[in-house]
Amino acid sequence: MAAGDTHPDLPPRAIVPRSDRHQVVVIGSGFGGLFGTKALRKADVDVTMIAKTTHHLFQPLLYQVATGILSEGEIAPPTREVLAHQKNAQVLLGEVTGIDLESRLITSHVLGRELVTPYDSLIVAAGAGQSYFGNDHFAEFAPGMKSIDDALELRGRIFGAFEMAELGASRGENVDHLLTFVVVGAGPTGVEMAGQIAELAHRTLTRDFRAISTRQARVILVDAAPQVLPPFGAKLGRWTQEKLEKLGVEVMLGALVSEVDERGLVVKYKDGTSQRIEAVAKVWAAGVQANPLGRQLAEQTGAPLDRAGRISVNPDLTLPGYPEVFVVGDMIALDNLPGVAQVAIQGAKYAAKEIKGRLDGKPAQGPFKYFDKGSMAIISRFRAVAMVGKLRLTGVIAWLMWLVVHLVYLTGFKNRLTAVLRWAVSFIGTGRSERTSTEQQIFARAALQRLARGASDLVSQPGEYDDAERRRAELEAQAVEEARLSDENKRGVKVSG
């Protein structure tokens, strides 16, 4: 929907008034959005960040929330708190649904409320979501790993599977499907997730159950690719696979997932044969799809999209014909850049510098150049792989590098300190500090999806409760009656009929 359209079920829009200063709108609160906003803190501009969540998510550690190592607050501090001291920045909650490039207007929605925000310069850092390669119905039974909601749901599904297995075994039932965990995708997220589930089953939970032995749990890592961690090269891929198998992870390569349901999934091999795996707990860590806003931008500019929905941009990260619009991070197709945090961070800083330079009358920068700071993935405690330039590291050294790098990029001293403490509990000891899960965590997503307008169907619309005086009278009458009952000692006294 373009910014000039109005949804028929929504109330009249509210429009943010333009100010005298240069208005920069940043879409997204991830790495690109946050670092782009912070890079403009000394510029003579007003920055408005619009994001569909209230927090800045450190996505590389989501799997540790899902497996009970860290709490969600430690990897997702409130964006308002992070930017509290940046006086030229405002944070607005809302999912951006429309970008009108000609009018320079952004339309966002949250719980039926619509807001239109004007801009002079725009940084689009909306990121990417999980890709199911055209099989979006798989998501109902195999959640991805892109949000706090995803991680909490997976935590509930993983620990809940052990709980239901204990219950089923106590009833004399076969519980193999409950003690089988499948991770789809052998990239860094999938490898890290499979390794941590294996450590949970074979190390952390071994004394907690009576009717089942968690050591008998199966953890299966599935991928259609011929090796684990393809971007890390063949040597590190082989080393990683060997270490996963020593942990007890079954690695199934060349296996394409063709069907997913509540009780399991089906994989197909190159020779045409199929195999069904019975497993209730499944994690989808295969593939990403750029934010749908990329398609809107492509339709308005004529810029092509690649298969992952990423839009082609100019060498300076701007859109063709719209030099005031920058697109950064996972949304762009440029020079085969990888979908990692550093691309978003460096791109956002580049865009912010260009905006400041234009206002100061400075010449344009050269084309955006990405500096590759390396890649790493953790397999389990004391086991990791790292690739920095031509250097290839494995084992404890790579693991220590992983710890240091992730601590550096965690936002806030408090979060860094608590992360170190929780890592000590989990990696040196055997405990997991965040094992609490609820039915709501597991089923809320599916329940909301069954509503026509999602969470908007559960709240009142603006204007529905405008009779303030009537509500005030009702509340006052209720308070008077409560006080009378207490003063006359009539609470708990049976009223004779």
Please list the active-site residues: 192
Instruction: Write the DSSP string, 460-478.
Output: PPTTTT--HHHHHHHHHHH
- Is the CA virtual torsion 131, 136, 138, 140 positive or negative? positive
Exposure on the CB side of residue 253, measured as CA atoms within 13 A: 13
Structure tokens belonging to residue 20: 């005298």
CA-CA distance, 432 to 414, in Å (whole number)? 19
Greatest CA separation found in the chain? 89
Q: Report how far residue 361's alpha carbon sits from residue 139's, in angstroms, rounded to the nearest whole number.
A: 49
Instruction: Provide the pairing of β-strand 14-15 with 113-118.
Output: parallel
List all residues 6 or more positions away from 25 whose beta carbon is below 8 Å from its beta carbon.
47, 48, 49, 50, 106, 117, 118, 119, 121, 122, 123
> How far is the C-alpha of 241 from the C-alpha of 190, rounded, in Å?
12
Residue 363 sits at φ, ψ, to 5 deg, of -65, 155
Q: What are the Cα distances from residue 242, in Å, to 85, 108, 194? A: 48, 48, 13
For 278-292, letters b (16+ CB in 10 Å) and e give ebbbbbbbbbbbbbe
**Would you tell me how many other CB atoms lie within 10 Å of the CB of residue 160?**
19
